[in-house]
Structure 1
Amino acid sequence: MSLSSNHTLTTFSRRHLTSALLALAGLSLLPAAQAATVEESVTELQQAWEVINYKTPAAEKEKKFEALAARAHKISESFAGRPEPLVWEGIILSSWGGAKGGLGALGLVKQAKVLYEQAIQIDGNTLDGSAYNSLGVLYYKVPGWPIAFGDKDKARDLLQKALTINPKGIDANYFFADYLVETGEPQKAVAHLEKVMQAAPRAGRQIADEGRRAEARELMEKIKSK
């Protein structure tokens, strides 16, 4: 092979090498360009939570919530300073605690409490006041001092705050109704349960809406049976 042939081959190889490197550079940028937005990531968590909470056998929920909590924590870290992932990480931890049950759940709900408080500090109105609502639920569900931080009065304040932000919300009305039943005011709960049944469907939340309405009907039957 002549020198000119070698030069041509070298030039050809360099061109292809350059093209390959540029292509690889483009591929390395591709994941960043296609990275999920915070809205997409939160939707992913919502949908996974709904399936576990409403469609998964009780015996399997604890492990599935545990895995989802790890995913939620990564999303919270990826979008530091955004309240939405914090709220959903808290909801998932709370649900994991509910599936776990007993004193072993207290560590999880305490973590969830901190996450809700952080979300409120950033923007309490985010996700229609879900951080206030979810924190209020913890305050009336967990034991009081000295075991945990439960406080029915704080719960009422937080749940009412959530209702102020989202007066027609399916979750805000359901949990305030549940709180009223638990604190001995079942007749006051009826109006809120009716709002649950009348609430407008949430886009992409069909499983959650159906599940929450089923819970509302069950709570209504409990009130009527007393």
Structure 2
Amino acid sequence: MNIIRQLALTASFWGLALAAQAADITPLQERWAQIHYQTPAKEQPKAYSLLAEQARQLTRANPESAQAHIWQGIILSSWAGAEGGLGALGKAKEAKAELEQALSLEPEALQGSAYTSLGVLYYQVPGWPIGFGDDDKAGELLQKALALNPEGIDSNYFWADYLIDQKRYAEARIALLKAQAAPPRPGRELADQGRQQEIRALLNTLE
């Protein structure tokens, strides 16, 4: 290979890598937790709409950042859930596209969070002919997430939620106890606190 071309390709590679690293997702994570766990339900759609635009700006500035695409997908999914109804399906489809883009860039980003979030969409969105929901596909994606992050609070919580949806209650309880024992995530204290409340609520439904 021509040495100049080789250097150009190397510079291009490092440029993409630096661009991905430059995507600071911390403000998105913090604001998402505030909306999801502290904002009244009727105010959440508007709050998520503003946060979704912030996420879009981040992904436009960092198109090669899987982390940015993951968080845009998470925010769009949460917005769809807060809005509800068939009108939310467009946002769910947009979230699906963002998460698939993240997987094409870096499947292991954020310990497989794209697999988790995409799996959640597949079991929560209605199936054909209304939407793209598919319980079997959801199970496959959530298992991939667990393989990458077997001790994680989110990977185990959403696996448990899926198992409850499938009426596999004994397995769900095991997964919830594992989620409950997950190590804390530095900088994600509010999200961890809220998720632990959700874990306890699901455990109570299984008693």
Change in CA separation of 1:53 and 1:39 when aligned onto 2, cut-off 3 Å: farther
Specify the alignment match of 2:125 in structure 1: 142
Bigger relative contact order, structure 1 or 2, given CA contacts below 8 A and separation 6+?
2
TM-score (norm 2): 0.89
Count residues with an aligned counterpart: 189
Q: Is the 8 A contact 2:28 2:51 kept in 1?
A: yes
Change in CA separation of 1:209 and 1:39 when aligned onto 2, cut-off 3 Å: farther
Any runs of at least 4 consecutive aligned residues in structure 1 with deviations exceeding 2 A, and if so which?
Answer: 36-41
In structure 2, distance between residues paired with 1:205 and 1:39? 19
Q: Is the 8 A contact 1:38 1:85 kept in 2?
A: no
Of residues 85, 89, 92, the one that matches 2:68 is 85
Is 1:153 matched with 2:139? no
Unaligned runs of 5+ in 1: 1-35
- TM-superposed CA distance for 1:41, in Å, is 2.2
Alignment RMSD (CA, Å): 1.3
In structure 2, distance between residues paired with 1:171 and 1:123? 19
In structure 2, distance between residues paired with 1:155 and 1:37? 27
Specify the alignment match of 2:166 in structure 1: 183
Specify the alignment match of 1:213 in structure 2: 196
- CA distances 1:122-144 after superposition (whole Å, capped 9, x unpaired): 11100010000000000000100
Specify the alignment match of 1:75 in structure 2: 58
Of residues 152, 158, 166, the one that matches 1:169 is 152
Specify the alignment match of 2:102 in structure 1: 119
Q: Which amino acid aligns with 1:152?
A: D
SS across alignment from 1:146:
coil
- TM-superposed CA distance for 1:196, in Å, is 1.2
Specify the alignment match of 2:187 in structure 1: 204
Structure 1, 85-94 or 191-200: larger mean CA deviation: 191-200
Q: Is the 8 A contact 1:173 1:192 kept in 2?
A: yes
Unaligned runs of 5+ in 2: 1-18
Specify the alignment match of 2:33 in structure 1: 50
Change in CA separation of 1:121 and 1:84 when aligned onto 2, cut-off 3 Å: same
Report the structure number with the largest CA radius of gyration.
1
Of residues 82, 88, 111, the one that matches 1:99 is 82
- TM-superposed CA distance for 1:39, in Å, is 5.9
In structure 2, distance between residues paired with 1:38 and 1:57? 34
In structure 1, distance between residues paired with 2:137 and 2:181? 28
Q: Which amino acid aligns with 2:103?
A: I
Alignment identity in percent? 50
SS across alignment from 1:41:
coil
TM-score (norm 1): 0.82
- CA distances 1:135-154 after superposition (whole Å, capped 9, x unpaired): 00000001000000000000
- TM-superposed CA distance for 1:82, in Å, is 1.1
- CA distances 1:97-144 after superposition (whole Å, capped 9, x unpaired): 011000010000000000100100111100010000000000000100
SS across alignment from 2:186:
coil
